[in-house]
């Protein structure tokens, strides 16, 4: 589905990503995992076509990513940024409707299908109750849910999410991960940047470990998430325990 070949990316003279190569399979939930400033979000933006790569390339279904125009790409890949506050008070419903942009025709009047899809997306993510509120007045967590619903409304085979659960309460975190899992079971490919090793081992199919801009490990999340790699990333601060057949990462007590 997505092939990343020898990808490098610089911000000016600062090297952020170095020679990254791996493949993402269709219908899998993949985590990009690593410490702060490791380059996860940068990699995600490269996958979304927002950062133009300096070296190497990305292939989507065999076609080079840079050859797509924005509209074509937006029908294949949706991108959920970290939440932020835009300057104008749009309603939640209008924000979610923006997800339909690549599917709209010439004069940008949404059809009934677009409106229905908007409602359906809000329903799936569980934000119908705030549909008529102003996006700018919501809490950070609610805004994340709205962005997620927008990406869902975009209805793309590939979804990229940048820390979608960072501001959510525990219930919503679990709900979102379950929703993502459900989406992959329906054939979507989902890539998520995340900080939380537990969610990676509980929900993700595959995980790519990014440290200092390099890929230091990639594979099945159940198998590759182990004490060695955590030690490599974080040092001696945590360890993996097993509870009810699930891996739980706990702080090391010393």
Partner 1 sequence: MISDNKTKSTFLITSLIFLILGMVVAVTRGSFNIPILDVFQAIIYKIGIGTVPSLDNEIVVWQIRLPRIFLSVIVGVALATAGTTYQGVFRNPLVEPYLLGVSSAAAFGAAISIVLHLSFLSMQLTSFVFGMIAMIFAYSLATVKKETPLINLILSGIIVSAIFSAGLSYLKMTAGFRELRDLVFWLMGGFYTAKWGDVGLLSVLITISFILLWSLAWKLNVLTMGDQEAQSLGVSVKKVKAVSIVLSTFITSIAIGTVGIIAWVGLVIPHMARMTIGPDHRYLIPASAIMGGLFLVICDTLARTLTFGEIPISILTSVIAAPYLIILVRKNRNLYFG
Binding site for partner 1 (CB under 8 A): 12, 45, 48-50, 69-71, 73-75, 77-79, 81, 84, 86-91, 94-95, 98-99, 101-102, 104, 107-109, 132, 154
Beta carbon nearer to partner 1, 146 or 221: 146
Asked if 80 contacts 148 with a C-beta cutoff of 8 angstroms, the reply is: yes
Euclidean distance between CA atoms 250 and 239, whole angstroms: 6
Cβ closer to partner 1: 36 or 109?
109
Closest approach of Cβ 53 to partner 1, in Å?
Answer: 15
Q: How far is the CB of 74 from partner 1 (least distance, A)?
A: 3
Nearer to partner 1, 21 or 61 (CB): 61
* Residue 56, number of CB atoms within 10 A of its CB: 16
Give the nearer residue to partner 1 in terms of CB position, either 15 or 247: 15
In terms of Cα–Cα distance, which of 210, 233, 161, 218 is closest to 39?
A: 210
We find the least distance from the C-beta atom of residue 160 to partner 1, in angstroms, to be: 8
User: Which CA distances in Å does 22 have to 31, 117, 181, 207, 251?
Assistant: 13, 33, 21, 11, 30
Smallest distance from partner 1 to CB 166, Å: 17
Q: 37 or 70: whose CB is closer to partner 1?
A: 70
Give the number of other CB atoms < 10 A from CB of residue 123. Answer: 12
Q: Which residues contact 62 (CB under 8 A, 6 or more apart)?
A: none
Contacts of 9 (CB under 8 A, 6+ apart): 15, 16, 17, 39, 42, 43, 46, 51, 53, 54, 55
Nearer to partner 1 (CB atom), residue 9 or residue 199: 9
From the CB of 13, what's the least distance to partner 1, in Å? 12
Q: Which of 224, 245, 247 is nearest to 30 (CA)?
A: 224
Smallest distance from partner 1 to CB 179, Å = 20
Distances (CA, A) of 91 to 2, 108, 128: 34, 18, 12
């Amino acid at each position: 589905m997505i092939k990343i070949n020898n990808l490098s990316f610089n911000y000016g003279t600062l090297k952020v990503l170095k020679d990254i190569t791996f493949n993402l399979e269709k219908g899998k939930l993949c985590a990009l995992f690593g410490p702060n400033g490791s380059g996860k979000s940068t990699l995600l933006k490269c996958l979304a076509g927002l950062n133009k790569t300096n070296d190497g390339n990305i292939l989507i279904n065999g076609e080079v990513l840079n050859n797509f125009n924005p509209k074509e790409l937006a029908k294949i890949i949706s991108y959920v940024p970290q939440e932020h506050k835009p300057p104008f008070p749009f309603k939640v419903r209008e924000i979610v409707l923006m997800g339909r942009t690549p599917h709209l025709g010439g004069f940008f009047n949404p059809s009934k299908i677009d409106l229905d899809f908007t409602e359906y997306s809000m329903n799936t993510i569980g934000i119908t109750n705030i549909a008529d509120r102003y996006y700018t007045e919501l809490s950070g967590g609610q805004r994340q849910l709205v962005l997620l619903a927008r990406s869902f409304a975009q209805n793309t085979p590939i979804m990229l999410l940048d820390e979608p659960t960072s501001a959510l309460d525990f219930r919503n975190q679990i709900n979102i991960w379950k929703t993502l899992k459900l989406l992959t079971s329906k054939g979507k490919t989902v890539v998520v940047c995340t900080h939380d090793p537990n969610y990676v081992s509980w929900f993700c199919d595959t995980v790519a470990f990014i440290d200092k801009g390099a890929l230091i490990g990639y594979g099945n999340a159940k198998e590759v998430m182990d004490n060695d790699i955590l030690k490599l990333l974080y040092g001696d601060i945590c360890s993996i325990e097993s509870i009810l057949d699930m891996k739980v990462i706990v702080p090391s007590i010393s």
